[in-house]
Structure 1
Amino acid sequence: MKANSDLQKHNQGESVDNELPEVSSQDRSKNVCQSETKPANNEQLSHSNNSNQSDILKVEEVTLNSPAYIKNNSIDELLQKVSYQQNVIEQNTDTIRFIEEKCAKLETFRKDIEHKLETAIKQKDAAIKEKENIVIRYAVGENNVLKERQQKEQAEKKYKDLHKEYELLQHKLQTMISEKSRICQMLDNKCYEYKNVQLEFDKAKQDLNNLETKLKWNQNSLKNEIEAHREIQARADALNAKVQDSVNQIEAAKKSAEETVKNFMTSQENRAYVLDQQVKEQQATLILLRHEKSDKDQHVKSLQSELERLQSKHKEIIEENNNLSLKVQHLERERLENEQKLSELRGYQDLQRQDAANLQTKNVQFEQVKLQLKHEEEQLQAANEQIERLKERNQEIESDMDSCRVREAELLVFTQQLTDKNVRLQSEFTAVETKVQQLSCEQTVLKRQLKEHETRISILNSTLEQERSKNATESESLTKNLKETQNKLDVALRDVADQQGENLVMKRKFDLSMREVNKELHHCRRKLEHYEAGDSSTNSSNSSSSLNVNGHAQNLCDTEHVKVIQPEPTIDKQTLIEHIVKLQRISAKKSEKIDFLEEHVNNLVSEIQKKTKLLQGYVLREQAGTLSSNSMDNNKAQLAKLNGVMASLYSSRVCDQNLTLELSLDINRKLQAVLEDALLKNITLKENVDTLGAEIDRLNQILKK
């Protein structure tokens, strides 16, 4: 048992440390068995030899010291004794043969038992190894169960987080609905304000028509008052002032109406359009979130099914462990039974050896008696030599005992070293396990933080893209409005310049006509004074005729003045009225075109948004491989036909036997490195595009300034 325990410790030491000297279990067991059998044989031989020597010495002392032997014994008695001893020797030889045969049988039986013992030790070692493997499997199973529990807890945490996000999104949706209702109410208010402004614009148009009628009435009154010579200048100045005031009022009313319409169109319609876009974008994000929720629900279901599978697997492992523990107990019982049988056989073997030794001693005694009878002196010499040999053997046995003790001490030291090393390795293993657990916990925390950062980055990227799209649409709408306002301003400035030129021409013509009238009046006055200076009596008829002539001349002058002045203002007013009417028609046509284009643009935008939603839904439903081109699919099919690593990658089966786990991990690492490089390039390109956009905005602002 001590040898078996030493062997078990030695085997454990060999499995723990490869640097220690390796000794096979079979050789060690053989050496132990031999070491057990040798001391027993040596002890029996030494005991038998010692007993033989003592008997021989006693016989010699009796024969030498007895005086009857010297005096009375005769040769006949000696011959009888010799014959008797020969018969006894023959009987002893027969018994020795029988004993030798029995010993041979016992030796074969002993060898069989040793062989069985070796097989039992081997089975025991195999059972211990199987037990260790079972313990390792059980530990691995427990570790897997712990991992699965951690994954289950993580999945439950994710589910709770998703549920919270879903509630937040529902709250956001309710707030968006309330904001939408508020915006609709604001839009209704703005529409009401727009109607009020339109009524004011109609009133301004009516005022303008009234002013035009007043202008016509003033023109008619001007025609009537031109006949009066003295009040021409005052009334003409008043009418010019009134005309200028009315024109200024008309232009101011036009400008104010156009500005109010433009401000209303730019402010309210753009806001309503932007709000509609925001509502539609929020609806699209809601649909995407619903899709994400459904995907996450499916993922949770798959995790639950996987958890159930792992639980069933855990139960199977526990059942296997119980079965293996029962097997180990059965093997332990068999081992104990074999050890008991072996101890019984050893006891029986010892008894047989003792019988054989006794028979051998008797045989030796007979032989010694025979030899004593023949050669007493030779026996004495042989006895002396045998004593010396026994002494040498004793010395050898003592040296063997000392070496065995030294070896036993070395083995004890070796076992102590093994136990110390085993304890140290177990402590190191526990420390490494704690470190591994700490690192795994830190890794899980880092993974969670990385996932949170990735989600935040994706959210920020989406918000940034939305803000960019909004800014782009707002900038495009503002640029379009600016261009339209600039074009309208250019047209209005041209119209104003034309009106100012026409007014200047009218003023110049009016001044020229007034100067000519003044000159004719002065000429008429001089003529009147010249005629009044003459004789009134003699020239009464001449005066009357001259008066007639003067009246006729005056009438002629007046008619000439009328001919000069009247047609020009009438033509200019008609052209102005026609020009105003044309401008109104053009503005009405343009407003109709603008309304039509706005409706058309709104319809196109709604269709585009519907199509984008459909495309987004289609892209989300379809797999990533379906969006690739036909050429890529053809290349993949050609690669799948060939036998290689890429063929096993594109086809769902292993085509290359050289595809190992290490090779697949190496391919995965390389692909991950390529993906990281592509992501870095995309990030740098995005940053460059952002800088270019900022530079373009800055240049546009500089150009506007």
Structure 2
Amino acid sequence: MNTVEAPIDIATEEQSIEVKTDNSAENESTNDTSNLDKTEPVPIDVPENPEKIEIARLSSIITNQTNEISDLNARLAACQQHYETLLNRQKEENSREKQSTVMRYAQAEKAKLDSDKRCEALATKNNDLLKEKDNLQVKLSEFKLMNTKLQNAYEHKLSELVALKKELEKTKEINQSIDASLKSTLNHLKGESSHLKEQRESNERLKRDLNEQHELNEQLKLQYKQLTEAARAIPTDDEQAQALDTLRNEHNALKGKLTNIQDENKLLREKLKSSDEDRLALENVIENFRQTTMREKETTKKLYDDLLAAREQDSVEISRLKQIESLSNQTLADNADLRQLLEKEHQLLELTQKLTEKNSILQSDYEQLQLLHKGTSTDFECIQKINEEQKSQIAKLENIEKSLRDQLKELDEKYQTVNKLYEQSAKQYDDSLSEIQTLKKKHQANTKDLIKQLQQLQKPKFTNNSNEHGPMLLTSPTKPIANKENSNDNSSSHGSPTGSFSSLNEITSLAVPGSDHIPRHTPAHQQQQQQQQQQQLLLDEEQEVIVNIVDIDRQKLIDKLLKQQKLLVRRNEKIEFLNDHIQLLTQDLQNKRKIIQTYAMNEDSFMYTSTESDSIKQQLANKNRNNSSSLMATLYNRATTTVNHTTNKLFEQSSPMTLETALDVMGKLQSVLEDTLLKNITLKENVDTLNKKMPIVKSASTMSESTTNEAREALDCLHELSQLLNTGLDKKTLTACVRLLEAGVHPDALAQIVQVLRSETRTTKL
């Protein structure tokens, strides 16, 4: 209805504009006449120049008419703008309505096709479900028979389980009694072990006493031998005889004690043997009990497995029955969906009728707008030429940009090389500054030491020396000076500072031989020679100190060089990494730039233009559509009498849709549907992959939990085994302990048994 009302509004507005223009023209004519009437009456006082008066009158008329013409032109321009804005709005509204109708029509056709496909799929599913229903009914009868059999077997097994439970209770009572007896035996064994420990301690004490008594006996024997020898040498007396008697009595008493201790040891060994026999008997009883418990566990496991199998079969049958019920419910739901789809088909057909009516109205309006589009085609051609010129300019600018980028790259490379050289020179400069500072500090310290030494040497040393020591002083310094000169010559090869000191040595060496020609009889000459020799000695000492200063540690320099090389290697690696990263980023930017350029070239060039250019585009499209018989035009120009509103018939036999038009419509709509189908397929694939990955992740998490639990159990078992191995038992006892752990004996009770066995093994070893 809006589309019908829109052209009516346009017509009314056009009529109002025409009326206004007519009224304005009439008003202008009346004004002209009035002006003429006003200008016609001539004053009484007529001037002498009537031609000038007429010229002035005509000029005033012309000025008035020009003003009126300008006003009319302004009104016309305003009316044209208003009319163009109205036309543009109507065009936009018509285009939007057209697009919406096309999309609705396409969606309706798509829904219809989908409904047809669903109907076919549901029909096939219905047939398959009916077949499955028949098969499942046959299987149900079989399952019912199987269920009755299984119920009977289940009841029979339940009765067997009740009997087995009673037997288990009996065995539990027997086990409890055996446990009580074992506990009592353990307590008894603990008491005996404590008693044995006390006996061992007493035996050790007795052994110590025996050893002491043996030592005393040996000492007494030695004394006895000495006394006998002394008695043989000396005549016997009564006192010696009495002492011998006392010693013999003590010896006899000690022998009696020894016999008593040996008897006690024999009794204790017999008791140990009896305790070992009791222990072996207890172990046999425990092994028999364990074997019986293992047999009972195996029987219970078999019965429990049978029970689980029966329950699984029951659960499978119940799940199958549930599947049958769900399938029947699905069939009912599918039938309801079929009915709804048929209703939707009727609704969609009614919508298509309404859409065809609206499309025919829109087509008539569209043909009117095509006339305006022809005028804009010329403007579009001019704009296209301008666009081509702009493209050529853009290409030139791109070439210039490439050349500038190449120059920039070359400049960057040069800058990097210069920067590297600058960094290396700065590092060398810093290192040289640090070395110079260290050398200055060392030089200052050494100069201070030398000043102190000079001050000490300047004190008068040779005040008390006689004239006899003069020639010795003259001859002796020549040898060390020569040696020092040689050493300085050798050291001057290492560095430059030693050259000056070698020159000083040469000066002093020249001064020394010249002193031989001076007469030696005067004391003044002798004093001068002594002073010269002292100065030479001081200079030699200074040279030695300075040479030692210059000999810098080479190891420190090597370490510094290695550190600097490592730093350079790291910096080079960083620079290479940054260069690679920058190249990758530039490649990405170039690729993105190319993509944007292709998008801009392929995209509509008038996407961001004004409404006038849009109207020009529409006129061009209308021209092309008029030239080539468009498909939608054939649809829209169809007779509107195809719909019979009284009856629910869609199309009459007088004007049926041709096969060619239907195929063209289907081809156009297929291209629209393909995009949506592709999107739906990708979404389904993503959902399927997620559904597949979720159970894998869940199973992995459950497996990880199970593995962690198994690892913990294994660690506990290993810990227990390590505790058992640390006890120092035999292989047989260890295997017995492991079997007891497998049987389910508590580790604390097993630890107590192990302690008892260890104490027994120690007693047996002793």
Q: TM-score range with shorter-chain normalisation?
A: under 0.3
TM-score, with normalisation over the residues of structure 2?
A: 0.21
TM-score, with normalisation over the residues of structure 1?
A: 0.22
